[in-house]
Amino acid sequence: MDIKYKEDWRIWGQPASPMLLSMTLNSGMINLKAYLGIQLWDTIISFKNNRGEWFYRTKELNCLGQKMIDYLMVDSYLDRFMIDYQEAKDILLKKIQILENMDYLYLKSEELVSVFNNLYGKYIEWYKFGWFCEPIQFKMQEIVASEYVEVNQGENKFDVQGFFIAKKESFIIDILDDMKSCSEMFEVAMNALDLQGLKNNLSVESVVMELLKSNNDTVMLFREKINAHISMYYWKNNNYSGAKEININTIVAELIAASDDEIKGSYSYYKDKVDGMRQARVEMKKQRDEMMKGLDVYMLRLCEIGARIGGDLMDERKKIVMMSNHHFDRLLKRISLNAGGEENDCHYLLPQELNKYLYDAERYKERIVERKKNMLVYWDDISVVGELCISSSDDVLEAVSMQEPIIVEGDMVEVFIKDINKKLNIYEGNSDVDEPLKGDVIYDGDLKEYIIEGIVRVIDDPLYDEISEGEILVASSTTPDFMNVIAKSSMIITDWGGYMSHAAIVARELKKPCIVGTIYATKRLNTGDIVVVDLKKGIIKKK
């Protein structure tokens, strides 16, 4: 049995730290309200086992999306919005560029916190524009389903996705394209060392050792290329849980994994992916142009909003979040270590607590231990301040005055969830784990048969979880660091997402079958399960 949510409630889940995820929600509560006069409502985030889950009401998200669409429908407001966004982005990227060349090692704690706060201020001011993406995405799906599909008598369901095609090429293609160049030089370097036929039988460490000690000109050029890739894309594996270091070992591991087929090799692997994604974009643009013929002014404007906000801005938001989190992570680790704590301690604070931690780290030690076990952050109303922080350290319930959200720690989380459920009516009991799943079909893979069968692989963190070629990827949602596992999968199924989600964009460009918004896929399916999928109805059943 698993928990079943009330019809109006949904969850988004990913590996995440309380600090990094709460920054984005602070922006949605504070900075978005300052910009547009509206903000999120009842917002709950729970953290356990290095995973964050954000609970939200679809009704409220759609209401927010409608207000945002109404705002952007006004003449010149969309252009004004994009100008404001560009200004905030330029300020943030300028700060990131400075940090890329900064050595944190010898900075005092006060200096580190000052740098953090400066970056944080610029980040949440920029991220308020990113908060337009999801509400607009989900509201647009509702509008398009009722307006466009009805006008076209429901024919060709996949035409609807023309509303959500980005105008610009995704940064993911840039990364894969650069890896294609790396792989070409890798194969030449391996041939120069007479290791090409042996690479799949050698450890990554052995291959790297040979590459590092060689003075061969070809090999040295490869090392220079790897260093250039790392310098450009140092952030590419990051997510909301922190920075994932990339180095020559991790790049070589990627290249070896991509060359499992010794006939094709890693270069062909990356070339096929890049060429396929670019060709898919050409086809989708043709589809979009055809779809736009005959649309009225309102729907044309909606299509433009979808492309610029849900397409381009959402894609760019992912990239800048990954870049920003790299520097937040480095700063937080140094502050934690300087205070005599464990490296990840500051990840269990909220941004507004960092100054207090700097001057009274001892006070937070027991509370951080509790938070690492279980933690919940709840906003009822952003206008309410001076709420309580609830802790269960030493089985004593203590209350500490807080500035904004309620923070619940340790064993008290379960108690608080029961109380909050009485007020917000989130759960409706249990449901059978064998109950079929249903979601939105994003892409059918151009398959001749609409009923397909496959083996499930549930992935939480793609850095640590592996997938075998041809398995069905099941995840709460996907982010750019999922690209390697997505490439090997035969299909994508997610709990969360819409037509403009990362999984949807990548599925269309890689031409992989994809169903999003199932809500319970990661809870009801287990690695190794065999499932039967109906790509017309979006239904997934265990066999």
| Percent of the residues in the chain that have a pLDDT greater than 90, as a whole number | 51
Total number of domains constituting the chain: 2
Q: What pLDDT is stored for residue 185 in this prediction?
A: 95
Query: Where among 276, 309, 326 does a domain terminate?
Result: 276
Q: Which amino acid is at 307?
A: A
As a whole number of angstroms, the distance between CA 52 and CA 46 comes to 6
DSSP string of 21-39, one letter each residue? HHHHHHIIIIIHHHHHS--
Instruction: Over range 440-459, report the average pLDDT.
Output: 86
- The DSSP symbol for 46 reads E
As a whole number of angstroms, the distance between CA 172 and CA 486 comes to 12
As a whole number of angstroms, the distance between CA 513 and CA 431 comes to 27
Query: Where among 244, 276, 308 does a domain terminate?
Result: 276
As a whole number of angstroms, the distance between CA 162 and CA 306 comes to 9
Q: What pLDDT is stored for residue 383 in this prediction?
A: 31
As a whole number of angstroms, the distance between CA 355 and CA 113 comes to 7
Count Cβ atoms within 10 A of the Cβ of residue 31 and give its class: 0-12 exposed, 13-18 middle, 19 or more buried: buried
Q: What pLDDT is stored for residue 387 in this prediction?
A: 36
Are the CB atoms for 267 and 187 separated by under 8 Å? Answer: yes
- The DSSP symbol for 312 reads I
Are the CB atoms for 436 and 541 separated by under 8 Å? Answer: yes
Instruction: Over range 281-290, report the average pLDDT.
Output: 84
530 found inside a domain: yes
Range of the domain at 510: 437-542
259 found inside a domain: yes
| Least confident window among 62-71, 150-159, 327-336 | 150-159
Tell me how far apart the terminal alpha carbons of the chain are, to the nearest angstrom: 18
152 found inside a domain: no
pLDDT of 536 above 80: yes
SS3 label, residue 226:
helix
Q: Which amino acid is at 432?
A: D
SS3 label, residue 288:
helix
Query: Where among 276, 309, 336 does a domain terminate?
Result: 276
Instruction: Over range 404-415, report the average pLDDT.
Output: 87
Q: Give 516's strand partners.
A: 440
Are the CB atoms for 116 and 81 separated by under 8 Å? Answer: no
DSSP string of 53-69, one letter each residue? EEEEEHHHHHHHHHHHH
pLDDT of 263 above 80: no
455 found inside a domain: yes
Q: What pLDDT is stored for residue 141 in this prediction?
A: 82
Q: How far is CA 532 from the centre of its chain?
A: 27
137 found inside a domain: no
- Token readout for 384 is 């309410």
Q: In the β-sheet with 398-401, what is the strand arrangement from edge to edge?
A: 9-15, 51-57, 43-48, 375-379, 406-409, 388-391, 398-401
Residue 387 has phi, psi (to 5 degrees) of: -80, -170
Residue 431 has phi, psi (to 5 degrees) of: -135, 160
- Binned at pLDDT 50, 70 and 90, residue 420 comes out as confident
Instruction: Over range 344-362, report the average pLDDT.
Output: 93
Query: Which of 42-46, 231-235, 297-301, 358-362 has the highest mean predicted lDDT (pLDDT)?
Result: 231-235
SS3 label, residue 505:
helix
Q: Give 391's strand partners.
A: 398
Q: What pLDDT is stored for residue 1 in this prediction?
A: 40
* Half-sphere exposure for 476 (CA within 13 Å, toward CB): 16
pLDDT of 211 above 90: yes
Tell me which residue of 484, 491, 488, 520 sits closest to 507, measured CA to CA.
Answer: 491
513 found inside a domain: yes
Higher pLDDT, 54 or 379: 54
| Least confident window among 122-131, 254-263, 348-357 | 254-263
448 found inside a domain: yes
- Binned at pLDDT 50, 70 and 90, residue 311 comes out as confident
Neighbour tally for 317: CB within 10 Å:
21
- Token readout for 480 is 């750019």
- With vertex at residue 354, the alpha carbon angle to CA 117 and CA 55, rounded to the nearest 5 degrees, is 95
Handedness of CA 325, 326, 328, 332 (dihedral sign): positive
Rounded to the nearest integer, the mean pLDDT of the chain is 85
- Binned at pLDDT 50, 70 and 90, residue 5 comes out as low
The residues near 87 (Cβ < 8 Å, ≥ 6 apart) are none
> pLDDT for 18-71, tens place per residue?
999 999 988 988 899 899 988 777 778 999 988 998 888 888 888 899 999 999
Q: What pLDDT is stored for residue 457 in this prediction?
A: 96
pLDDT of 381 above 70: no
As a whole number of angstroms, the distance between CA 72 and CA 69 comes to 5
pLDDT of 362 above 70: yes
pLDDT of 402 above 50: no
53 found inside a domain: no
Q: How many residues does the chain have?
A: 543
Higher pLDDT, 448 or 410: 410
Q: What pLDDT is stored for residue 131 in this prediction?
A: 95
Are the CB atoms for 339 and 361 separated by under 8 Å? Answer: yes
> pLDDT for 502-516, tens place per residue?
888 888 888 899 999
